[in-house]
Amino acid sequence: MKKQLLCITLSSVLLIGCSAQEKQGIKDGFTEIGHTTRDVTRATGHFFRDTTKDVISNAKEATSSEEE
């Protein structure tokens, strides 16, 4: 319990001690991380979507040429 209280107190003191500009910088940093994560997730989703479409297309071509 004492350790938790100490950690909370130190965190509060550090945040209070930060200037408004530093707080804005921290906020901007987290925003940038969030946007980067979103962009990477979107790109990864598009990659898998496109790859799946290619695999399905190739499978259809392979099975249609076998039937002929």
Indicate the domain borders of the chain: 1-64
Q: Which residues contact 15 (CB under 8 A, 6 or more apart)?
A: 23
The total of other beta-carbon atoms located within 10 Å of residue 55's CB is 10
Is the confidence at residue 15, as pLDDT, over 80?
Answer: no
pTM: 0.48
Cα separation, 41 vs 14, whole angstroms: 33
Give the model confidence (pLDDT) of 18-59 as tens digits. Answer: 677 777 888 898 999 999 999 999 999 999 999 999 999 999
Q: Which two tokens stand for residue 54?
A: 């290619």
Phi/psi of residue 18, nearest 5 degrees: -70, 145
